Amino acid sequence: MMLKKVVVCGVGLIGGSFALALKAAGAVGEVVGLGRTQASLAAAQQRGVIDRIASDWADALHDADLVFLAMPVGQVASVLVSMAPYLSSTTVITDGGSTKVDVALAARQALGAQCAQFVPGHPIAGAEKSGVAAARADLFYQKRVVLTPLAENTEAHIALVEHVWQACGAEVSRLDAEDHDRVFAAVSHLPHFLAFALVHEFAQRADSAQLFGFAAGGFRDFTRIASSHPEMWRDICLANRSALLVELDAYMVELMRARVLLAGADAEGLQAMFDTARTRRDAWLDGLTPPGE
């Protein structure tokens, strides 16, 4: 597979790594960049992440094989509206957003029948670092990418996006958009929300300096994701609000249940809870064979 021209809109960690991975795989002729911030695009060009900066959507989409949207999900709708007038019938679009129901809705509204060319996706890879400086060609290597195809997509469109991600070294799977948003509300969006909340609570307190003075490795790992990109996570929380609220409420119920054990000094109950958690987590880790091995 060889794409002559790929457009990356939003050349940060995800968009930049996608461009670098395709280049490393020899799967692309030219990568053209677009984005909000000229300085970021210039930096991306200087690093060789993109070959050139598009002057506008007309320029970007001319003869493009593929467009990758890699901006915070809150911007996807307006970007699709901007590009729609210049979209030919031969360009395929995909995205890297962490929520998929809202992206599918935005695609249908902005593109109409051309939404058949849009195959929503979500690479399960990232880092608490953001920006093109953090981009690397192996970010998606042996990581999962979940596609949530629209009913309108043809198998050829889906297969193209699948192959592109495989060229980046990723393991591709498919999920219904609603299932995707429910699952990731639990395993990703909730932990981010919880970690942000803990650090925020500590940051507000009168004894904040003392707390951070004694915080160590456990705290560091638990809160790693609280160093994630605030705007990106604001958009994810808003876009997946209803599913996240369900998960947050379930977790608060669990905390109240656990609080009853603690307040009642229920040694057996606490140990059973901790045992179940450790056993389940260790079984999960044992089963985590990197794709392809």
Which residue number, 35 or 126, has a Cβ lying nearer to its own copies? 126
Task: Number of residues interacting with its own copies: please give it, by CB under 8 A.
Answer: 85
User: Which two three-digit tokens encode residue 200?
Assistant: 């925020």
User: Which two three-digit tokens encode residue 237?
Assistant: 């929380």
State which of positions 98-137 bind its own copies (CB under 8 A). 124-126
Window contacting its own copies (CB under 8 A); options: 2-10, 14-22, 57-65, 210-218:
210-218
State which of positions 228-247 bind its own copies (CB under 8 A). 228-231, 233-234, 237-238, 241, 244-245
Which residue number, 54 or 139, has a Cβ lying nearer to its own copies? 139
Which residue number, 114 or 130, has a Cβ lying nearer to its own copies? 130
Window contacting its own copies (CB under 8 A); options: 101-109, 111-119, 163-171, 227-235:
227-235
Residue 78 makes contact with its own copies by CB under 8 A? no
Residue 271 makes contact with its own copies by CB under 8 A? yes
CA distance linking residue 106 with residue 100, whole number of Å: 10
CA distance linking residue 222 with residue 204, whole number of Å: 18
Residue 221 makes contact with its own copies by CB under 8 A? yes
Smallest gap from Cβ 26 to its own copies, in A, equals 27
Distances (CA, A) of 38 to 33, 43, 44, 52, 189: 10, 9, 10, 12, 30
Tell which one of 285, 289, 292, 293 touches its own copies (CB under 8 A).
285
Which residue number, 30 or 171, has a Cβ lying nearer to its own copies? 171
Tell which one of 37, 109, 281, 291 touches its own copies (CB under 8 A).
281
Smallest gap from Cβ 64 to its own copies, in A, equals 30
Smallest gap from Cβ 205 to its own copies, in A, equals 8
Residue 156 makes contact with its own copies by CB under 8 A? no
Residues comprising the chain, all counted:
293
Tell which one of 6, 23, 193, 243 touches its own copies (CB under 8 A).
193
